[in-house]
Chain A
Amino acid sequence: MADQEPRKQEDAPGSELGETARQMRAAEPYISAVWKLVGGAVVGVLGGYFLDRWLGTSPWLLLGLSLVGIGVGFYGFLHAMARLGKRK
C-alpha cells in the first residue's frame, strides 16, 4: 500500500495536463538534445571569436574552439539520443 502511494500521486497531475503541456513535456528531452548539437557550435564559435578579439590571436582560437564546440555538441547530442533510445 505504501508502495503504491507515490505512483498514484504521479498519475494524478498527469491526467490534469492539457494536450500541449503533455506533448511539450514528451518533446523536451529531444529539444534539449538538439540544443546540445546547435549550442555546441554556437558556444565554440562565439567563445573563439571573443577570446580571439581579447587575446589578439585571430583566427586560431576561433578555428580551434569552433571545431571543439561542434565536436562536443555532436557528442552530447549522440549521447543524449543513445540514452533516450535505451529508455524505450
Chain B
Amino acid sequence: MRKAMVLFACLFAGAVWASDPAGEHGYANESKDAEGEDVAGYILHHVADSNEYEFEVPLSHNHIPIHLPQILIPLSEGACTPVADPHGGGHGEVYPGLGAGCLDLSITKHTVMMWLAALLLIGSILIWSNRDKTKLVPRGAGANLFEMLVLFVRDELAIKNIGKEEGPRYVPYLLTAFFFILFMNLLGLFPWMATATGNIAVTCGLALCTFFVTQAAGIRAAGIGGYLKHLTGGVAPWLWPIMIPVEFLGLFTKPFALTIRLFANMLAGHIVIFFLLGLIFMLRNPAVALVSVPFAFGIYLLELFVAFVQAYVFTMLSALFIGMSVAMGHHHDEHHEGGASHDHGKAHHVG
C-alpha cells in the first residue's frame, strides 16, 4: 500500500511536470539556473558556521538575526583591521585570518550550539542521576535510558576495546565524548538549531582530545622512554631524521580519520535533506513536494539513527585506539621484564 502511494506520488509529480506548457519552458530555463544556485547558496549558508544566529519566524519570510559577539585578538599591532572581501565583488568587508596575525575567537552559531548541548547534557545527567539512593533500581524512562547508555559505553566499548584492567580508567572520557557528540548531533535535528558536529573545526577538536588521551595512555603504559623508542620505528639511529617524522605523522592518521568521519556524516545528511526540499524550488513545481517531503522525512529519520551511530562509532574507535596504545606499552614492558631470550623479535617490533 505504501509503495503504491509513493509510486502514485512519483507519477503524479511527473505528470504535472510534463504538462508544463512548452512555451513556458524557455522562460523558466533562464531563471532556473539562478534559482538552482540560490538553493545551493541557501543550503551552504544554512549548514555553515556564522557570526549571527538567524531566528526564522514560521510561515513568514521574516528572519530575526541575533548578532553574536565578535572577539578578535590581534597577535601583532593592527592585524585585525577589516579588509575588502575578495569574494564579495567589491562590497563587504572581512577580517584577516590567523595567517595574517588576527586570532578570531568570536562566538559563533556552532559555539552557541556546543554550549547548549553541554548545558542540556549537564542538566539531564544531573536530573536523571539524582535518584533515590535507598533504592537500588532507577525508576523512570530517563534514568533507565541513561543507565543503559552508560553501561553500554563501559561494558561494550571501554572494556571490550581496552581491557578489564585498564578500561575503567578511560570510561569517564569515553562517556563525555559519547554524550557530548550525541547531544550535538541530536540538537541539529530540532528546528532553529544547527549541527555543531557538521563543522570540521568541532570534530577536529574532539579528535584532538582522543589523540591526547591516546598518547597519554601510551606514555602511561610504556613509560616516556618506551614511548619515544616507539617513535624511532626500530631502525638504526642514522635513519632517525627521516623515520621520526614518519612515525610522528603516523600518529595523526587515526584522529584525522575520526575528524573526517564525524564531520562528513553529519554534514552530508543535512545537505541531502535540504536538497530534497530544495528540489521543489529548483523544479519550480509544488507537486514535487509530494515526493521530496516524504523522502526528506525518511532521511530525517535516518539522521536520527545516524546521530546515535556516529556517537557510537567515534567512542568505539577512540576506545579502540586507546586500547591499541595501552597494548603497545604493555608489550614493551613484557620485553623488559620477560628477558630477551625467547621473545626478542616480538617485543622489539612494538618497542
Q: Count of A residues near B, CB < 8 Å?
A: 36
Interface residue stretch chosen among B108-116, B161-169, B202-210: B161-169
CB distance from B350 to the nearest CB of A (A): 7
CB distance from A87 to the nearest CB of B (A): 4
**Which partner residue on chain B sits nearest A6 by CB separation?**
B337
Contacting pair B161 A17 (CB below 8 A)? yes
Tell me the bound Cα distance from A25 to B166 in angstroms.
15
Tell me the bound Cα distance from A1 to B51 in angstroms.
67
Contacting pair B242 A72 (CB below 8 A)? yes
Tell me the bound Cα distance from A1 to B72 in angstroms.
65
Which of A10, A20, A35 is B246 in contact with, Cβ under 8 Å? A35
Contacting pair A86 B246 (CB below 8 A)? no
CB distance from B167 to the nearest CB of A (A): 8
Given the complex, which residues of B lie within 8 Å of A9, measured CB to CB? 165
Which residues between 60 and 113 of chain B lie within 8 Å of chain A, taking CB atoms?
none
Q: Mark A11-24, 1 if CB is under 8 A from B, else 0.
A: 01110111011001
A32 at the interface (CB under 8 A from B): yes
Contacting pair B166 A18 (CB below 8 A)? no
Contacting pair B161 A20 (CB below 8 A)? yes
Tell me the bound Cα distance from A42 to B330 in angstroms.
30
Tell me the bound Cα distance from A28 to B234 in angstroms.
15
Contacting pair B161 A43 (CB below 8 A)? no
Tell me the bound Cα distance from A44 to B239 in angstroms.
13
Contacting pair A25 B327 (CB below 8 A)? yes
CB distance from B191 to the nearest CB of A (A): 37
Tell me the bound Cα distance from A64 to B350 in angstroms.
30
Contacting pair B161 A76 (CB below 8 A)? no
Which of A20, A39, A68, A72 is B249 in contact with, Cβ under 8 Å? A39
Interface residue stretch chosen among B36-44, B175-183, B283-291, B341-349: B341-349
Q: Mark B159-200, 1 if CB is under 8 A from A, else 0.
A: 111111111000000000000000000000000000000000
Q: Mark A70-88, 1 if CB is under 8 A from B, else 0.
A: 0011011001100110110
Tell me the bound Cα distance from A69 to B246 in angstroms.
9
Select the residue from B160, B234, B337, B349 with max chain A CB neighbours within 10 A: B349
Mark B residues whose CB is within 8 Å of A. Answer: 156, 159-167, 233-235, 239, 242-243, 245-247, 249-250, 253, 316, 320, 323-324, 327-328, 330, 334, 337, 345-346, 348-350
